[in-house]
Every structure is written in structure tokens, then in C-alpha cells.
């Protein structure tokens, strides 16, 4: 049995995704993001944006270009997703149909925005599955943007859907949905981490994801010139709110996000040493440096190594046998 099968006792391990989700909408930015991914490897995902990325009146040509780029040789790692229009839009099903028909086997996931309820999410998934099945793709991963009152109310049920692998917090739409009751400065730091209604939304999303082994993805940082702001936001999202992924909207944000969400070298070394000794003990309890470890802590250290691997960090040779 693989270590993950032993540690998670017949349950699926939590979903693991690259810690950074980089959004790109225009042709220039989409091509630039592809070059960056080719340079650094699959350390971050790319989401091509059909919702806000298309100029009004140019929606269909835009989604066809998106599909062509995903299908192209420039997509070397299969880690490109698409944000489509929302379900109530007249463009939603057309987006899905074009993407699935032209790039259904290459796309990594589809992101569904502006859902108002569990019912809307399940309806969107039914449409996606219909077109994906015609393209020969089953169980296409779904990411859902939680940015409305209704979606937040249903967040646990949405996270429980088997096909959903990630929930993202759409802070700007969420704050706007309060029609001035939440001040605009709660869209950014420091108030995004202190306003009670915003922090409630963040913690509810993260808790729902972790309850069902899904990935909570933190909202954007609108500051694109000062990388220290991005790094601070990412560190707080990870360390204080339990997020394991974060959006990037500018190439300069990618590295600070990856660094903030990635384990430190000392954590990686410790995790590898503990898991190797645990494996030698057939996953029974062990003592290391005066501390007792059992399968509860083994699961924690296993996820540390998984995060390190997805972030492209160097792992000790011993780590290969325990992943």
C-alpha cells in the first residue's frame, strides 16, 4: 500500500493544487503567462479569463482563442484552467461548449463565477458535464467562486460536491453585494483581515474546504507594484486563515505567493525525517527528539511534503518513498 493509503485509511487524501492561481485575460497577458510557466515549470496554475477578459462584443472570438492556446504546444504541463461567464449569462453555455469541443482533454479545470446557490452550481456542473462528455472527458474538475450571500450560505454543500476541487473567495463582488454596509477599504489590507463580515466569509470558505478535502483559494491583492504587500497578504491568508492557494493578477505577484505558501527548508527536512522513520516502523508511533508522533502527525507532515513538491522545491531523496 502507498503511504497515503495507509495514512488516510481508505479515504482520498486532500486535493493538492499549485499554491498560486495566476489569472490572465487579454491575448498579450495569456501568452506572457504561458512563457512564464514554461520558464518556471508547473509551480503555478494559469486561469484564462473569459468573463472579464473579453471585450464586450468579442466574447466568442475570445473564448475560441482561449481554447486554441490551451490546445497548443505552449501548454506543456496541462495546468491551465478557464473562468467562464456566469450561469445566468447568455455566454455561459457557449463558453463551455467551445472550450470542451476544442480543448476538452487538455483543460485542467473550469471556474464557475457568481453562483448564487448550491442549485446554480449543480446546474452549471450538469451543463459542463454534458459538453465534456461529448468531448470524451469525464469528471472535469470544477472551481467555484464564492462571492455572493447565497453561495456563502451553501458553502459546505458546494464544497461537498465530488467534482468540485477548489473554492475561491471573490472579495470584491462580496463586499459590493453589501451595498455600502461594508466599507470599500475592506477589499484590501489591513481591513480585509479584520472586518468581521469579511473574515467570517473567509473562515467559512476555508473550513468548508478542509472538511471535504478541497482547496481554499484566497482572493486577489490589488496592489501590483509593492511585492511586500502581496507577500504579507499571502502569509496572513496561509498562516491565519488556513488558505492553501491564492490568486495572482500580475506576474510580479507569483513568486511572493509561492514563497509565502511553500514550506520552509527546515520543515521539509523535518517532515522527511519523521515520515521515513515512521515508514521504517510500519507507521506505528515513534519518538523523535523527545516528541511522540503517530498517524495524526504523519498526515500533517505528508501534506508538508506534498506542498513542497507542488511548489517545485527540492526534496530529500528519502521523501520519494513516503509520497
Cα within 13 Å of Cα(75), Cβ side:
21
Instruction: Note whether 214 and 207 are within 8 A (CB).
Output: no
The pLDDT value given to residue 314: 87
- Structural domains of the chain sorted by starting position, each given as residue range(s) with its CATH number in brackets: 14-261 (3.20.20.60), 265-322 (no CATH)
- CA-CA-CA-CA torsion sign (53, 57, 59, 62): negative
The pLDDT value given to residue 139: 93
Over residues 9-48, the pLDDT tens digits come to: 878 889 999 999 999 999 999 999 999 999 999 999 999 9
DSSP 245-294: EEEESSHHHHHHHHHHHSPPHHHHHHHHHHHHHHHHTTT--EEETTEEE-
The pLDDT value given to residue 209: 98
The pLDDT value given to residue 10: 73
Report the alpha-carbon angle 31-87-175, nearest 5: 80
The pLDDT value given to residue 19: 96
Buried-state track 103-120, b at ≥16 Cβ within 10 A, e below 16? bbebbbbbbbbbbbbbeb
- Regions in the chain scoring below 70 on pLDDT: none
For 126, the enclosing helix (H) or strand (E) is helix 118-134
> The whole model's pTM is what?
0.93
Amino acid at each position: 500500500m502507498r503511504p497515503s493509503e495507509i495514512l488516510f485509511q481508505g479515504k482520498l487524501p486532500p486535493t493538492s493544487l499549485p499554491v498560486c492561481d495566476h489569472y490572465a485575460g487579454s491575448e498579450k497577458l495569456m501568452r506572457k503567462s504561458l512563457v512564464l510557466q514554461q520558464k518556471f515549470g508547473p509551480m503555478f496554475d494559469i486561469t484564462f479569463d473569459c468573463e472579464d477578459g473579453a471585450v464586450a462584443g468579442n466574447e466568442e472570438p475570445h473564448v475560441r482563442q482561449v481554447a486554441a492556446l490551451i490546445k497548443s504546444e505552449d501548454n506543456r504541463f496541462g495546468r491551465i484552467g478557464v473562468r467562464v461567464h456566469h450561469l445566468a449569462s447568455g455566454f455561459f453555455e457557449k463558453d463551455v461548449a467551445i472550450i470542451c469541443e476544442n480543448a476538452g482533454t487538455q483543460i485542467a479545470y473550469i471556474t464557475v463565477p457568481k453562483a448564487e446557490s448550491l442549485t446554480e452550481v449543480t446546474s452549471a456542473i450538469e451543463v459542463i458535464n454534458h459538453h465534456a462528455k461529448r468531448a470524451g472527458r469525464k469528471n472535469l474538475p470544477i472551481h467555484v467562486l464564492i462571492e455572493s450571500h447565497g453561495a456563502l450560505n451553501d458553502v459546505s454543500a458546494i464544497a461537498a460536491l465530488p467534482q468540485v476541487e477548489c473554492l475561491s473567495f471573490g472579495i470584491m463582488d462580496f463586499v459590493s453585494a453589501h451595498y455600502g454596509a461594508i466599507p470599500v477599504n475592506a477589499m484590501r489590507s489591513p481591513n480585509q483581515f479584520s472586518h468581521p463580515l469579511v473574515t467570517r466569509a473567509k473562515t467559512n470558505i476555508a473550513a468548508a474546504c478542509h472538511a471535504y478535502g478541497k482547496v481554499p483559494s484566497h482572493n486577489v491583492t490589488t496592489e501590483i507594484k509593492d511585492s511586500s504587500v502581496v507577500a504579507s497578504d499571502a502569509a496572513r491568508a496561509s498562516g491565519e486563515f488556513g488558505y492553501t492557494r491564492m490568486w495572482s493578477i500580475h506576474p510580479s505577484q507569483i513568486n511572493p505567493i509561492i514563497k509565502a505558501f511553500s514550506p520552509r527548508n527546515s520543515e521539509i527536512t523535518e517532515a522527511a525525517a519523521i515520515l521515513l522513520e515512521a515508514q521504517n516502523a510500519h507507521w506505528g508511533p515513534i519518538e523523535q527528539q523527545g516528541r511522540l508522533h503517530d498517524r495524526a502527525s504523519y498526515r500533517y507532515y505528508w501534506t508538508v511534503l506534498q506542498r513542497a513538491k507542488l511548489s517545485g522545491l527540492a526534496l530529500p531523496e528519502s521523501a520519494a518513498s513516503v509520497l
